[in-house]
Structure 1
């Protein structure tokens, strides 16, 4: 079987380990960067011969366009272009989560951050301000008052944003990664504020409350994803979804490369 990974980071630990497992089992693995390399991506795929499955790790417009074209020609793409694109838009994530009855903080969308300024004094604080369109080096910030909001708007005046209710928490994100229904977990400091002083051990999935695992699995159904991450915060013992990522960079959990290799080889 031939598997093609669409990515600009072939050395990523998850992808490299998955490729090693597949090639060790006699399968052919190729890497293609939709945004780089000589010539047109479609022509490079055609010249190299068709693959049975394409793993869509890249999320750029060029990668999404290539994935849509592959799907139109009957190729199996994981995750789908539509599901991947959905997870790049935090406005659509919030709407999809609400429609799917997933617990997520109330979220509102503004065309630009500067449009939040007229209501700065009436805004409830603290509030999370995030770029509407998820990408590398995007905006994710906790804002604690009107002055901080004005300062942030001066730096990002034209940025489309979502304003999300701040969830009081321990300072740790619980990251649940799911690959074809198999759940892996990790704990990371929240991306805003200083990390807590005490180390926090990564919980085993079996030790997580059943509701947390069920929420992560439910997110895959709601968003139409096979490989994804769910960031959860603990709000009075209940999980709250604060982000959903298509094909994230899963680092650390044992068994993740094997799960991804099995997914690639799974027949539709």
Structure 2
């Protein structure tokens, strides 16, 4: 089988480890989204480990040429728009944080009565985007001075322990960790692997449901425990790094091969698509 990687970073730990497993018997080819064209003979499956405009354009071109892409360009694009993400999640009955959208931070700041803390995020999920807690008018003014034109979403701040639950899924296999929140006074901390049996009841099933709703095979879900194990989803990411999780490279390699064999057998239409 030929497996393609759509990424500018084929040395990423998860991809490198999966490549090491796959390349024992199969061919793995990395495509740089900026410079690569659609090959005359596309690979049996492509793993889309990038959400840049170049990567998404390449993925769409490959799909138009009949290639199988995991996750699809459409599903990946959806997860980059936090407004559409929230709308779909809440429509599907998922416990997603209530989300308001504004054309710019300046527009929201001009008429925002801050009666309680809120979390402000860039509408478009990308590296270096805005994620900040705002408690008062002074904080808001300082934020607006830097991000005034940024399209944003606003979520009410949910009281919690200060630790995010990071859950990742590769096909049906769930991995978990806790991490001190970016919004905590101490700042973001390292991931701490969490056994699945330490998760509150129903959380593993919940994140699998997210995959079905969003047509994702490789994804991450950020969850807050708002008390007594009650989950609140605050973000969903297509193809996150999943670093330091035992078994993740093996799960990704197995998924790539399964989808490649499905594509070569002409059965990939039964797989997820957005």
Q: What TM-score range do you get, normalising by the shorter chain?
A: over 0.9
Report whether the alignment pairs 1:118 with 2:107. Answer: no
- Does the aligned pair in 1 maintain the 2:170–2:248 contact within 8 Å? yes
1:254 corresponding residue in structure 2: 246
Structure 1 residue 199: Cα displacement: 9.5
Matching of residues 95-110 of structure 1 within 5 Å: 95-110=87-102
- Does the aligned pair in 2 maintain the 1:117–1:149 contact within 8 Å? yes
Report whether the alignment pairs 1:83 with 2:75. Answer: yes
1:57 corresponding residue in structure 2: 49
Structure 1 residue 113: Cα displacement: 0.2
Mapped to 2, the partners of 1:162 and 1:200 lie a distance apart of: 26
Structure 1 residue 200: Cα displacement: 8.8
Specify every segment of 5 or more residues in structure 2 that has no aligned partner in the other structure, as ranges: 263-267, 269-274
Mapped to 2, the partners of 1:28 and 1:134 lie a distance apart of: 32
Mapped to 2, the partners of 1:262 and 1:206 lie a distance apart of: 24
Q: What TM-score results when the alignment is normalised by the length of structure 1?
A: 0.92
Q: What TM-score results when the alignment is normalised by the length of structure 2?
A: 0.90
SS across alignment from 1:185: strand
1:70 corresponding residue in structure 2: 62
Mapped to 1, the partners of 2:116 and 2:122 lie a distance apart of: 18
Mapped to 1, the partners of 2:69 and 2:241 lie a distance apart of: 18
Equivalenced residues, count: 259
- Does the aligned pair in 2 maintain the 1:105–1:166 contact within 8 Å? no
CA RMSD in angstroms comes to 1.8
Mapped to 2, the partners of 1:153 and 1:206 lie a distance apart of: 43
Structure 1 residue 195: Cα displacement: 3.6
SS across alignment from 2:193: coil
Report whether the alignment pairs 1:172 with 2:171. Answer: no
2:37 to 21, 33, 42: 42
Structure 1 residue 193: Cα displacement: 2.5
Mapped to 2, the partners of 1:75 and 1:158 lie a distance apart of: 38
Structure 1 residue 93: Cα displacement: 0.8
Report whether the alignment pairs 1:188 with 2:183. Answer: no
SS across alignment from 2:148: coil
2:199 to 205, 208, 215: 208
Most deviating of 209-218 and 74-83: 209-218
- Does the aligned pair in 2 maintain the 1:211–1:239 contact within 8 Å? no
